[in-house]
Structure 1
Amino acid sequence: MNKIVIHSEYIKLDQFLKLANCVSTGGMAKALLAENMVTVNGEPEDRRGRKLYPGDQVKVTDCGEFVVAQEA
């Protein structure tokens, strides 16, 4: 599982997908979510604005599994 470090209290899912190099644009993130290819903490997620906090786990089909981590 890959660790993605954030520098704030939370990160929105569409921004996270870009940071994790799963997509390069917001439009690509929207399409990915519409195809039910993303789960957050084991539950399917389709909201681009979903707030992710440290400890949340994100799985993206054909991209990988990630955990949100807080900057130390």
Structure 2
Amino acid sequence: MNAYVWQKSSYSTEGANCVNVAAALDGTIRLRESDVPEAVLSIASGTLREFFAAIKSDRLGGELSR
């Protein structure tokens, strides 16, 4: 078992379903949903940064807001 230090948003309340994030030793970012903690996704930090930038600039055409 990997010993990631999981963090959640300060906007999340206790008991809320939220996304947790952790940094891995290989430089990637790990993501998991709090209600399914055994399902962990791995993503390169640059890719995650680009994804967030696309969301902020609405380059995804509003597909995620549906």
Normalising by structure 2, report the TM-score: 0.27
Q: Give the number of the structure with larger relative contact order, counting CA–CA contacts within 8 Å between residues 6 or more apart.
A: 1
Task: Flag the structure with larger Rg.
Answer: 2
